[in-house]
Structure 1
Amino acid sequence: MVFARSVRIAFCLVVSCALVAPTASAVPVGSAPPPRSPSKPPPKLATAVGHGGAVSSVDPYATRIGIRTLRRGGTATDAAVAVAAALGVTEPYSSGIGGGGYFVHHDADTGEVSTIDGRETAPAAASEDLFVENGEPLSFDEAVTSGLSVGVPGTAATWQRALREWGEMDLGRVLRPAQRLAGKGFVVDETFRAQTARNEERFRDFPASRKLFLPGGELPEVGSVFRNPALAETYGLLARKGPAPFYEGEIGADIAETVREPGVAPGADRVVRPGGMTRADLANYRTIERAPTHVEYRDADVYGMAPSSSGGTTVGEALNILERTDLSEADKAEYLHRFLEATKLSFADRNRWVGDPAFSDVPTEELLGQRFADSRECLIEPDSVLEAPVAAGDPRDPHRCRPRTSKAELPYEGPSTTHLTVADAAGNVVSYTLTIEQTGGSGMTVPGRGFLLNNELTDFSFTPNTPGVPDPNLPGPGKRPRSSMSPTIVLSDGEPLLALGTPGGTTIITSVVQVLTGRLDRGMSLPEAITTPRASQRNTERTAAEPGFLRQRVTGKLRETGHSFEQMAEIGAVTGVERLPGGRWVAAAEPERRGGGAASVVRPSP
């Protein structure tokens, strides 16, 4: 029997996070250690079960560092920051201190779920026509590889704030393993080489990127050792002085100069437009503490990230639409049909209503209301599909069963990004998604600092998404671009049940909904829900689907209903943790997507 669940969200009280001048690290951190050949890479395990805490990320080096942090008495937050810093070394094309993200935390002592919005901001010089020239929007590729696309990074400030709120270790101690990893190096795998190859042309046009990522002028070979001594030195400086050099000192000065005067190689024919970021933009950056989104789904409480991310509202609305159907009793075709239609509708509403709440009146509470979800759910027919793009509903004035089409287009978001999930022995849990946007970000490395700059501002709408309709996601000074990142924590009876998230641009939202419904409705274990083939419907005429999804017999039934598909090689790279009876944890990652992830626990058990 399915019961309607009440839906509530605390009002999004926005609290600015001032950057307090940090004290010196309690643990001495010197310069980067001399390079040594690393041992063979840690093993990649997709699933691990045991006690004492759990870590899941896309990378075995990062996961190992997180487990060691937990074993040394660190909290879930200490381990999460350590993992994130390590991913900045081994996953530099997806994340790093040149970007931003969203940090969701469950406190075992208070039972509260809290979030940090560490999203990048547009510089003060940005205007609505940031990506418009001569009355026409720039091509996406031209916008990405430019100073125009670079937002003020929020990752370093996020780490400092999270550690201050929920950590037991200081930034210096937490950064030391990643600093050593950057100096010592890691073994290049096929994924790293392939991602470098996809960026080779861009990297060759920027001397600092070419020097770092194309050692000797060539692609790094699989099995070779990749070192980043400049990043080791940067981490050492942050370890000693905290984020101040990044936002108020020499690192910030180098960032602003790179954005305003992109260093293009002599002879390169690429046009790279400068951006308007200044040192003042960096000094004025603040993280924001936001109330999480919250919906009750089945017997669980699902918490996510409120706007400026669209993840929490869109995941929550889709779950509310599905709440009226007993998906555990539905056959597979009905389940998948309703899942695809629910995300189609929630994306229509996301694209119309969600933006930075400091600049737009975002109806967050209403988007998460069951009344609004019911007005959208009744549009779903069992034997036909809604013509896409579906027009948005009005969450403040819901009208039941009013189907309309729209001329809206799906805004593009880069499919890169990374996600990590951590739990400690006390039951504290972190779900953290961070990114530099496109694989390889803007393509521009800060000279001598060892990290790429993001292209997050291309997440803004270049021009209004729907002609004649106000767009809450146009650029503006100090504004945060809308994101699809969906770090999620699920509680049952007030205790952690599971946490998850994924990279994947706009497919992040649909992947999280599919894994949640697979786990909570369809009787799958968390590893099974992560492994199952995926499809992603985002209010477009055709649904993106993995080859494995298209090979299923049920896909024929979906086509008969009216669904059409286009193949996507892979969708997302989920990581998650789940608490089992008896205090054990299961850590789960992808067995194959993005080269496979890495899951581990502090004390393994059968």
Structure 2
Amino acid sequence: MKVTPTSGVAAGLLLLLLTIAACSSPGPEDAASQAGWDKGAMVTAANPHATAAGMEMLRRGGHAVDAAIAAHAVLGLVEPQSSGIGGGAFMLVYQRENGALVMHDGRELAPAGVTADMFMADGEVMGFLEAWQGGIAVGVPGAIALYEDTHKKYGKLPWADLFQPAINLAANGFEVSPRMAGFLPRMASVTRLDENPGTAQYFFPQGQPLQAGHLLKNPEYANTLRRIAAEGKSAFYRGSIAEAIVAATRADPHPGSLGLEDLANYRTVERASVCGPYRQLRVCAGPPPSSGISQIMMLRIYQHLAEDAGTRDEQLAAFVDAQRLVYADRDHFVGDPDHVDVPVRQLVDPSYLDHRAGQRFAPGATPEHGDPEGFAAGRELASSWAADRTEEVPGTSHLSVVDSEGNAVSMTATVEAPFGSSRWVGGFLLNNQMTDFAREYHPDTRPQANAIAASKRPRSSMSPVMVFDESGELFMVSGSPGGNNIPAYVFKSLVAVLDWGMTPAAAVAFPNITARGEKVRVEVNVEPGPEIANALKARGYTVEEREGENSGLHVIVVTDDTLLGAADPRREGTVEYLAREE
């Protein structure tokens, strides 16, 4: 399947939908029958050092997972505001040889000692800033376990080799990027980053925030990675590193309950991907507790609504309303499937989604969730969950990899808010992932699907996704950071490439449009953002004009003879390609 570029970014929504003949949608399991891979390999990640580390692994014959681990270990050093080994991640892995597609869930876990009302005081919810900087915000980190478990299953290169690029950078130093430096003055006014032990000295030497271009060394991180490289994940989840994590978590203010047993008992989970048809393609995404299913849902509803959309503005309304309907369902039904019954099969059922498309809300109305279980049963059923509009703050990163054998990784990783909980251990930051749970709790009402519970994973907006063509071959890899806006960002990348005929670069650069709840956010500092905002206003939508969106889309598209990649221009990412003959 070829990618047909448009004449420019602004042309995307000015064109009518491409006419694509409907046909059957074979799953990725059919890919094993295809010919050998001749497209080369590619890495796209949020920092040039990370991209280079991933490519080093691919040049040495490594698997896409090897590249992803090496790249992310570097991201934790050079982009600590977004992700790191003190946080968690979802890794969607595709094996071309047998067509297997699995999401490895390395999401953080709630400690055993948490309570449903831990963020409540005198009947009121603790403010986000207060909760964010408290020890109670720290969940059990999952990244290192994810590294080891996926490497054991897929890795081709020696375990220790994957950490060498990050160790070298940490020991020898790297230049502080403008993005990291730009965050620091703002963090000093709202967090404890400039006060806490370790973070104050590292990010604010002599009391001043690091400047872009400063050569920064992190010998603590180098030593932590050397231990992990030598001893495996046990070096992180047991012994002195684990003890330091517990001590940092239990420090004031608002000390948490995380203990050594929580760390020692952490396990990743292998979850089957969720797939659905989109025209002649097949879209596969991470299941709950990720929000990957939102991509399948949005695309189907958009397809239904756009069928009768003859003008650009009608297509735009379809794009917005698909988001509004799916966010309402996602917010209500998605949680940790090991703790709550998430009706995934019903939510992605094409019949339900076509029915849901008929429930469009007026532009100024508040969207409400649907009833997928009642629809499947042919009657109305009352939901067992309470309403939930939990906000996730952007502090996340995404990377996409295709290796020289056609295997692929879509990995989204996070420490939750910028710089996580601002708590420092062994050269890295601990997450504040507990604030991704529904923090409001009232004992006399129904709980939310995403309510706090011991050993539960919080719902995540992270949405790693892959698309397969009519032959079952890999066609596209995508994902993004951005907190609650992630489903909208990823949806934009898919529609822009699959329907609007854009190149990956044009797709990721196109203005972000997020429609969750009553308002529609439109990025107006990117063309044709102002035109889009005005068109939506004219149709009655409540539009919030925005600048400085936090997307970080990293996309790879497979063409007939090569790979096309894109890194979001809103961040500092890069793309590197390895031709087959190399």
* TM-score of the two chains, using structure 1 as the length reference: 0.85
> What does 1:193-342 align with in structure 2 at a 5 Å threshold?
193-201=181-189, 202-262=192-252, 272-309=253-290, 311-326=291-306, 330-342=310-322
Which whole-Å CA distance do the structure 2 matches of 1:604 and 1:93 have between them?
35
For residues 504-531 of structure 1, what are the alpha-carbon distances to aligned partners after superposition, in whole Å with 9 as ceiling and x for unaligned? 0011000111110111011111111111
Which whole-Å CA distance do the structure 2 matches of 1:437 and 1:242 have between them?
25
Asked if structure 1 preserves the Cα contact closer than 8 Å seen for 2:41 and 2:580, the reply is: no
> What does 1:188-587 align with in structure 2 at a 5 Å threshold?
188-201=176-189, 202-262=192-252, 272-309=253-290, 311-326=291-306, 330-380=310-360, 384-385=362-363, 387-388=365-366, 390-398=367-375, 408=387, 410-446=389-425, 449-463=426-440, 468-492=445-469, 493-548=471-526, 551-569=529-547, 570-582=549-561, 584-587=562-565
**SS of the counterpart of 2:456?**
coil
Tell me: CA distance 1:172–1:429, structure 2 relative to 1, closer, same or farther (3 Å).
same
Deviation at 1:91, TM superposition (A): 0.6
Q: Which amino acid aligns with 2:573?
A: G
**SS of the counterpart of 2:577?**
strand
Q: Which amino acid aligns with 2:461?
A: S
Q: Which residue of 2 aligns with 1:139?
A: 127
Q: CA RMSD in A?
A: 2.7
Q: Which amino acid aligns with 1:346?
A: V
Gaps of 5+ in 1: 11-49, 263-271
Deviation at 1:538, TM superposition (A): 1.1
Give 2:568's match in structure 1, choosing from 564, 569, 590. 590
Which whole-Å CA distance do the structure 1 matches of 2:463 and 2:354 have between them?
23
Which whole-Å CA distance do the structure 2 matches of 1:351 and 1:419 have between them?
22
> What does 1:120-139 align with in structure 2 at a 5 Å threshold?
120-139=108-127
Tell me: CA distance 1:604–1:556, structure 2 relative to 1, closer, same or farther (3 Å).
farther
Give 2:96's match in structure 1, choosing from 108, 113, 118. 108
Which whole-Å CA distance do the structure 2 matches of 1:129 and 1:376 have between them?
34
Gaps of 5+ in 2: 1-18, 29-37
For residues 115-143 of structure 1, what are the alpha-carbon distances to aligned partners after superposition, in whole Å with 9 as ceiling and x for unaligned? 10000000000111121122221111110
Q: Does 1:599 align with 2:578?
A: no
Q: Does 1:72 align with 2:95?
A: no
Which whole-Å CA distance do the structure 2 matches of 1:392 and 1:345 have between them?
7
Give the fraction of aligned pairs with identical amino acids, expressed as a percent.
Answer: 34
Tell me: CA distance 1:285–1:188, structure 2 relative to 1, closer, same or farther (3 Å).
same
Asked if structure 2 preserves the Cα contact closer than 8 Å seen for 1:501 and 1:512, the reply is: yes
**SS of the counterpart of 2:392?**
coil
Which whole-Å CA distance do the structure 2 matches of 1:465 and 1:4 have between them?
49
Which whole-Å CA distance do the structure 2 matches of 1:307 and 1:409 have between them?
16
Deviation at 1:319, TM superposition (A): 1.2
Which whole-Å CA distance do the structure 1 matches of 2:408 and 2:158 have between them?
19
Tell me: CA distance 1:187–1:380, structure 2 relative to 1, closer, same or farther (3 Å).
same
Tell me: CA distance 1:466–1:70, structure 2 relative to 1, closer, same or farther (3 Å).
farther
Asked if structure 2 preserves the Cα contact closer than 8 Å seen for 1:3 and 1:324, the reply is: no
**SS of the counterpart of 1:294?**
strand
Asked if structure 2 preserves the Cα contact closer than 8 Å seen for 1:341 and 1:537, the reply is: yes
**SS of the counterpart of 1:141?**
helix
Asked if structure 2 preserves the Cα contact closer than 8 Å seen for 1:380 and 1:386, the reply is: no
Tell me: CA distance 1:554–1:98, structure 2 relative to 1, closer, same or farther (3 Å).
closer
Which whole-Å CA distance do the structure 2 matches of 1:427 and 1:227 have between them?
36
Asked if structure 2 preserves the Cα contact closer than 8 Å seen for 1:101 and 1:434, the reply is: yes
Asked if structure 2 preserves the Cα contact closer than 8 Å seen for 1:5 and 1:297, the reply is: no
> What does 1:15-164 align with in structure 2 at a 5 Å threshold?
52-164=40-152
Deviation at 1:245, TM superposition (A): 1.5
For residues 300-326 of structure 1, what are the alpha-carbon distances to aligned partners after superposition, in whole Å with 9 as ceiling and x for unaligned? 1111111111x2222221112122245
Which whole-Å CA distance do the structure 2 matches of 1:239 and 1:334 have between them?
54
Deviation at 1:189, TM superposition (A): 2.3
Which whole-Å CA distance do the structure 2 matches of 1:378 and 1:436 have between them?
38
Q: Which amino acid aligns with 1:473?
A: N
Size of the aligned set, in residue pairs, is: 546
Deviation at 1:331, TM superposition (A): 3.0
Which whole-Å CA distance do the structure 1 matches of 2:421 and 2:414 have between them?
12
**SS of the counterpart of 1:599?**
strand
Which whole-Å CA distance do the structure 2 matches of 1:598 and 1:467 have between them?
51
Deviation at 1:604, TM superposition (A): 9.5
For residues 423-479 of structure 1, what are the alpha-carbon distances to aligned partners after superposition, in whole Å with 9 as ceiling and x for unaligned? 111100100000101001001111xx0000000010000125999554111101001
For residues 350-387 of structure 1, what are the alpha-carbon distances to aligned partners after superposition, in whole Å with 9 as ceiling and x for unaligned? 11111111111110111111121112101237xx5261
Which whole-Å CA distance do the structure 2 matches of 1:295 and 1:79 have between them?
28
Asked if structure 1 preserves the Cα contact closer than 8 Å seen for 2:306 and 2:315, the reply is: no
Tell me: CA distance 1:451–1:330, structure 2 relative to 1, closer, same or farther (3 Å).
farther
Tell me: CA distance 1:477–1:409, structure 2 relative to 1, closer, same or farther (3 Å).
closer
Deviation at 1:415, TM superposition (A): 1.1
* TM-score of the two chains, using structure 2 as the length reference: 0.89
Deviation at 1:7, TM superposition (A): 9.6
Deviation at 1:566, TM superposition (A): 1.3
For residues 174-195 of structure 1, what are the alpha-carbon distances to aligned partners after superposition, in whole Å with 9 as ceiling and x for unaligned? 0111111111111122211012
Asked if structure 2 preserves the Cα contact closer than 8 Å seen for 1:465 and 1:471, the reply is: no
Q: Which amino acid aligns with 1:68?
A: E
Which whole-Å CA distance do the structure 1 matches of 2:450 and 2:23 have between them?
31
Deviation at 1:398, TM superposition (A): 2.2
